[in-house]
Chain A
């Protein structure tokens, strides 16, 4: 560590980065000024493509060949990283600057024991012997709250849960008492409850070690909880930089205000007025069971006792006409299984009653059902055929169900595009020429083209940026208002669903554990799991009430 009086762990001044590609060049970072003081956390907030990860890699001195540094300095504890030789950089990486990645299942080597991966850093940078490194590693794991650290050291990544793996990565990052740790969305790949635990660990370790952290995230609510200062990055430029409380309470720039306004706030309802509870339900699910991995009879004889996974267990609920029912749960809770059952993509037992017609099993779904029930998938990149134009994509349900006469199809496509607020000339474009949000609008337009009675939305906002998420959610509600279509909205984002839904169903391990009116979400008689989920979600509300870390 440098002995000078400079108190900044990281000081970036006037740093610019240019990206070259076959189609030309663009500036990934434009004259970035950032300071992370010792013992403090700077939250770097931006949407995808804003350049936040490029900055992280620039600090790690690991840039692809088509990135060119134009100007600026990157001072780590007063020393300019740009003047270091490759050999010096190797000494700095992992020892003085370390990084925690988004997805622990891909950042750990699957064929190395967790302990060896942790000890490697200690042997390399602190010169410990293998035995000493193992002991030190065990102690580090204990500090990250792993219950039996010595045993965890001997496990392979696939034998540990996502949360445990991320703890190992964090232990590796703090192993050499670095000047700076870069966290690149460390909780995005984890489920809500685990993410909350990792955040708590982050706060504890920061207090214990006094390490400086650059915390990169797209999640404003989360950053507002853990950062001292926050910098908002937009198209390669820092648009706002200041103490967390100040930026969130009184944002100066329009972009920051828009970003804050886009964060789902459960207190701000945008959903349609609730339907009359007396109306008979449009859709009723009764005792839906889904079993994955069921073997044919021959294999069952050969491999007795092979486990069958229950994707859904006795799930029953109903949806009234015009109602929006939110289904929430963690990954693996069975919420997407329900979407697949309703879309007729998954075999099930039990019964689905829709508009008075009872269907038992996937093959029973007839043309009328498939016409009246449409699905919108999570990832618009995957749900639109890359070889078809938007017009072809949208015309398909029109032709298939004969909703409009063939001559009226072009006019109807223009209407549909206008409805999802896309310009009419998009009809001739291919999906790859559209942005993520635009593609999702096309997918929504395709679902509504069939004039359905029920639309299933399977995590339709989770692959989109915050600001786009909000507009897609608003669009859905608007379409619902115009058409009176009912909706099953599947998501892991409780804040968002509380803004939209009339009722919320909570799923865990394939079972429906709670079903309640949205207004009753915070009542004390909610199921324990619902309360855990609600507590785990970071909201901006806390900081507005003056609770600052």
Chain B
């Protein structure tokens, strides 16, 4: 962890994540207004003392909406990623450990799915399941599964032929012990790192779905939805698009930088000298 804070990317990433975390936990308490309440006389305003980040087309306070929306948006990213990582890792580890034709069959199917871009894949699933946060989350996690499975499998393959795994096989250990205690603890590094980086993708896809009207539904405070709703008024007041847009970008950047730094700190060869 100390290693993580010593690289500029790690420091910036961690700070951004702390900020996002604080917004998630304390957001609704700090918000000066009710995020849903209209102020008809103060519509599409720029920053002022009354509304620190301005207001949207209904005169709702942008800061309050941003603070309330952090939970939804980031939780969406984390939830979708966690689900995708768990399903993907189970498939990947199973394929890597079993090997043989089962491995080949699973991986060929996943290769086919990998060829479809994440966003397109998600749209396809959402169109089938229907709009809404829950379905969108499921769609993103399904779209992430093939990539995660591939990463988990390659991590497992490189560990599987190590001599300490061979030693466990030679001792006559059970498969449960070999996978759970010998292989997974050593293969988990790349999986965790990839997952961190993917949280930012998930948030962006979630925001995109919100923007397209397939994710969160109004009057939700989800950041992507905020951008979508305000886009007609973009030229009259850029604030109502810029505020949630920058928030999405910063949170995504935070996860990305943190993931990069985490990867470097897991890899002894990349450690700072």
CB within 8 Å of B: which residues of A?
20-22, 66, 343-345, 365, 367, 370-371, 374-375, 377-379, 382-388, 396-397, 400, 446, 450
Contacts and interface: CB of A to CB of B under 8 A. Distances in A.
A20 B272 CA distance: 12
Contacts of B172: 344, 365, 367, 370-371, 400
Interface string B159-186: 0001110110111110000000110011
A377 B271 contact: no
A385 B182 CA distance: 7
B163 A383 contact: yes
Q: What are the nearest 6 A-B pairs in CB distance?
A: A370-B172, A383-B163, A343-B170, A382-B163, A387-B185, A385-B164
B164 A396 contact: no
A69 to B, nearest CB: 18
Given A21-B273, A385-B186, A386-B186, A344 B162 contact: no
A386 B188 CA distance: 13
Nearest to A370: B172
A87 B213 CA distance: 64
Given A377-B166, A386-B186, A387-B185, A400 B273 contact: no
Contact of A377 (B163, B181, B273): B163
B161 to A, nearest CB: 10
A375 B186 contact: no
Nearest to B271: A22
Contact of A383 (B167, B169, B185): B167
30 contacts: A20-B273, A22-B271, A22-B272, A343-B170, A344-B169, A345-B170, A365-B172, A370-B171, A370-B172, A371-B172, A374-B170, A375-B170, A377-B166, A377-B167, A379-B163, A382-B164, A383-B163, A383-B164, A383-B166, A383-B167, A384-B164, A385-B164, A385-B182, A387-B185, A388-B181, A396-B173, A397-B171, A400-B171, A400-B172, A400-B173
Given A22-B272, A377-B163, A344 B186 contact: no
A370 B273 contact: no
Nearest to B182: A385
A22 B272 CA distance: 7
A345 B169 contact: yes
Nearest to A367: B172
Contacts of B171: 370, 374, 396-397, 400, 450
Nearest to B165: A385
Contacts of A20: 273
A370 B163 contact: no
Contacts of A388: 181
Contacts of B173: 396, 400
Nearest to A378: B163
B173 to A, nearest CB: 7
Interface of B: 162-164, 166-167, 169-173, 181-182, 185-186, 271-273
Nearest to A431: B164
Which of B173, B186, B273 counts the most A-chain CB atoms under 10 A from its CB?
Answer: B273
A130 to B, nearest CB: 39
B265 to A, nearest CB: 12
A48 to B, nearest CB: 18
Contacts of B185: 385, 387
A396 B186 CA distance: 18
Nearest to A447: B167
Which of B166, B171, B185, B186 counts the most A-chain CB atoms under 10 A from its CB?
Answer: B171
A370 B185 CA distance: 25
Contact of A344 (B164, B170, B273): B170
Contacts of A365: 172
A468 B181 CA distance: 31
A384 B170 CA distance: 14
A48 B166 CA distance: 27
A21 B181 CA distance: 33
A375 B171 CA distance: 9
A367 B273 CA distance: 47
A74 to B, nearest CB: 25
Contacts of B186: 385-387
B76 to A, nearest CB: 33
A387 B185 CA distance: 7
Which of B164, B181, B186 counts the most A-chain CB atoms under 10 A from its CB?
Answer: B164
Given A387-B186, A400-B173, A345 B273 contact: no
Contacts of B182: 385
Nearest to B164: A385
A344 B166 CA distance: 10
A382 B162 contact: yes
A169 to B, nearest CB: 27
Contact of B170 (A22, A370, A387): A370
A400 B172 CA distance: 9
A396 B173 CA distance: 9
Contacts of A378: 163
Contacts of A344: 169-170, 172
Contacts of B164: 382-385
Contacts of B181: 385, 388
A22 to B, nearest CB: 6
A345 B166 contact: yes
B273 A375 contact: no
Nearest to A340: B166
Nearest to A382: B163
A382 B158 CA distance: 12
Given A374-B170, A383-B166, A400-B172, 14 more contacts: A20-B273, A22-B273, A344-B169, A344-B170, A345-B169, A371-B172, A377-B166, A382-B162, A383-B167, A385-B182, A388-B181, A396-B171, A396-B173, A400-B171
A542 B171 CA distance: 44
Which of A20, A345, A396, A397 counts the most B-chain CB atoms under 10 A from its CB?
Answer: A396
A375 B167 contact: yes
A47 to B, nearest CB: 23
